[in-house]
Chain A
């Protein structure tokens, strides 16, 4: 093991200041020895800068001349917007050519000899450190920081507490509704009520039990979804109330979360994954498995919506359903457990 300080390369003399490195074989470039090559490099660099100017002009022309909705077919790329293509290519070329020209200039015409500079130790000279310590000590003395114990302690206390208002002010990031005691109260309920009709998401048409075939799947919401959404101006209610309605042969249902929560083999489950809240949409009719596209948690809807694979820990909450007097599917109650991701106070 050789220490860095004792080992000096006698055959690699170190030169200081702006001097070329000794002892490195250096081959002159063609531009160094052949004036013709140098002139050619000069023309290349100037050519690139000039072309850049040309592309800027083309950019402006393209901006003005090409209609916004024009498309153009380019091999490999396919059908693309003409404007975006023209602007990107002209701007890209204009900017790229400036860079390419500058680098060509540096590589061919500027000196290519590496030079040496000495490093200096980063640590301060002991004398400087001593002087700094002196000045600090004098300041400490003059301020009496060491002597006035009460001042020092009260100042530290004041400084420690002054950020409190800044933190308190963050409290109303959530303006808590007066009738909501705490956040979990909002997470534990949805807008499903006893008798809420189940309507198809999108068309908002109520669903007749007899119209849903075995193996069928519907993405659904409560009938009052639109009104609630317009009243609240948010998608909050939708984020909790969305459900999936599936129909299977009644004897295929191995278990469910409450007695007779199905209606003749029709089951309704929350659509919001209990892992981190992605809406679930992949349902395999044959196995009755439900797969979350985000993290691949898999649930078995024929078996109480239990987790059969993946990172989700809890089963999908089931919505008890039945039919009203007209034969339309309705909820018999709200969910019995909170939908969506777990949270601390969930219990």
Chain B
């Protein structure tokens, strides 16, 4: 035992005698974590958040959250002598006079962009693989809340430098608050401490940005991770992986080295980005003033879809009886985002209600095996992407020389037409993949090798699946579930079923959910199919070609080749059939 280890063991004992920590270590050091590239998305989110906290702490040391007017005297010559808020002046100082300040600012901004992106893609991974199902519904809700907090953190941070772009974002936010019926005007005055822009807002949003939101994110991330720890990570199907086990690498040493190493990779890449790629050059547009704006103003990427909704919405407003309701702002900026996030948070419960599935799920779904869910996901993504196009309609118009009005009208129609089409298309693709899986399981995969039989017939050689692929496809056998039965309107005693309508809706939706599913082969069918392919095909195919063709068109005459055998096909044929 080295000296360092002795000291460590001593410290471990000291702590253990006070906290009983060795009991925890005993259980935890060998804890198994499954491995998959998509599980790193959440890690990227976590690690970029740590980088945000680190760089943000440094920035608070140099930034001054004040709207007091000062005359800039720093070293950026074009703005020298110009009146601006202290917030903007200190942001310029960070960029030009604090050594490494620009690096910290750019790292902070890059890390924030990566954070929101990682959270979003992580959420998509969870959605498409059904990882939100029982018992992980709480963690899904926490995730949705974390996403909204991440958007809030991003927007509040974007507003702090008090340059022309950030101020424009605030002005829009104020317009949105003002559009909320009944409380909007008062709400805007309270938030901004009076009229726009006032002199309070930067310091207020500063405490939101550096204390309130990060505090909440930190607390929720902790709970998020604790739940992952307690419930154990989900895993993708594979050999030896069941709903009742975890297959992967132990925390000590492999997972610790990989996950720990990955933190440094993420950190390193963000630092390289901060050093190499300019982001939000706040000195270009100058200080904020409410009567100037630059053409082509664009928010950070994650606000683009909200901006797209604002841009696409028709100009509806109602002014009646002394009040004004700005549907044109209230609906796209408040109502729809509220509905979308609520629907997202409730999704696991809605799906569980429709499927009637109350089992625990630790084995992830392959997206194709839940066609309706996958279709809903792609439909939502299509909607999101269209809104993104809306958020960039001016850039698209100038780049491709199109009319903004035409783009807007296209989107107003496309937002209602394309998502349903995406739904249908995705569902069809999923079902096609299911068919392919079924065929593979029953008859092996097509090797692409064509064999000519002695009597002249051509057949394609089918190879059996390897252990891994077979286990992945067979995982469907463990996840399938039948639709709910239609309820009876009256029970056996003739008493009316009080919940009949709700139950009937549930059963109907359940039928939609499971409609068209390609039945997974039973184990008997699989064995029969492989037996048939392996031993029977050769002798039976030529003799029963006609009957086979009717029964199993795609596998007509299939010959199964056993991999690893170094024999020619003719030798194999001879071994098995002989008489051909």
Contacts and interface: CB of A to CB of B under 8 A. Distances in A.
Interface stretch (B207-215, B252-260, B345-353, B414-422): B252-260
B78 interface: no
Contacts of B296: 293
Contacts of B21: none
Contact of A12 (B190, B240, B311): B240
A114 B254 CA distance: 10
Given A117-B32, A341-B178, A184 B239 contact: no
B408 A310 contact: yes
Report, as a range, how many residues of chain A touch the other chain. Answer: 35 or more
Contacts of A162: none
Nearest to A59: B100
Contact of B310 (A96, A102, A295): A295
Contacts of B394: 293, 296
Contacts of A53: none
B196 A312 contact: no
Nearest to A119: B244
Given A293-B394, A294-B168, A311-B310, A16 B290 contact: no
B275 A89 contact: yes
A81 B258 CA distance: 34
B224 to A, nearest CB: 16
B239 A21 contact: yes
B247 interface: yes
B404 A91 contact: no
A95 B400 CA distance: 42
20 contacts: A1-B482, A2-B520, A9-B242, A23-B240, A63-B100, A88-B106, A94-B268, A95-B264, A99-B265, A106-B257, A115-B247, A116-B32, A117-B30, A118-B245, A173-B191, A174-B192, A235-B289, A277-B196, A295-B311, A313-B316
Given A91-B103, A99-B262, A312-B315, A279 B329 contact: no
B193 A175 contact: yes
Contact of A278 (B172, B179, B269): B172
Contacts of A69: 75
A202 B293 CA distance: 15
A138 to B, nearest CB: 28
Contact of A344 (B174, B266, B324): B324
Contacts of B359: 4
Interface string A255-294: 0000000000000000110011111111000000000011
Which of A105, A174, A307 neighbours the largest number of chain B CB atoms within 10 Å of its CB? Answer: A174
B467 interface: yes
A280 B292 CA distance: 8
B96 interface: yes
Nearest to A273: B175
A122 B135 contact: yes
A92 B297 contact: no
B265 A96 contact: yes
Given A2-B477, A344-B324, A93 B268 contact: yes
Given A102-B264, A236-B195, 6 more contacts: A117-B30, A236-B198, A238-B291, A276-B172, A277-B172, A344-B184
List 7 tightest A-B contacts by C-beta distance, closest first. A88-B275, A96-B268, A276-B175, A99-B264, A102-B261, A242-B291, A313-B317
Nearest to B198: A234
Nearest to A297: B315
Contacts of A280: 293
Interface string B365-387: 00000000000000000000000
Given A110-B253, A341-B178, A236 B258 contact: no
Given A96-B272, A312-B328, A347 B198 contact: no
A7 B35 contact: no
Interface string B470-494: 0100100111111000000000000
A341 B198 contact: no
Nearest to A18: B30
B54 to A, nearest CB: 11
B563 to A, nearest CB: 12
A232 B336 CA distance: 38
Contact of A14 (B183, B240, B248, B481): B240
A231 to B, nearest CB: 12
B125 interface: no
B197 A234 contact: yes
A41 to B, nearest CB: 13
A4 B190 CA distance: 56
Interface string B309-332: 011111111010011111011001
A319 to B, nearest CB: 14
A116 B268 contact: no
A77 interface: yes
B150 interface: no
Given A281-B295, A347-B322, A275 B329 contact: yes
Contacts of A239: 171, 195-197, 290-291
Contacts of B62: none
A24 B467 contact: yes
A13 B474 CA distance: 15
Contact of A116 (B240, B264, B326, B404): B240
Nearest to B517: A1
B11 to A, nearest CB: 23
Contacts of A132: none
Contacts of A294: 168, 172, 293, 297
Contact of A25 (B179, B290, B295, B467): B467
A103 B268 contact: no
Contacts of A106: 253-254, 257-258, 261
B188 interface: yes
Contacts of B326: 313, 341-343
A183 interface: yes
A279 B271 contact: no
B291 A183 contact: no
A174 B295 CA distance: 33
A246 B468 CA distance: 73
Given A89-B275, A100-B261, A293-B293, A347 B319 contact: yes
A296 B199 contact: no
Contacts of A31: none
Contacts of B278: 80
Nearest to B481: A1
A199 interface: no
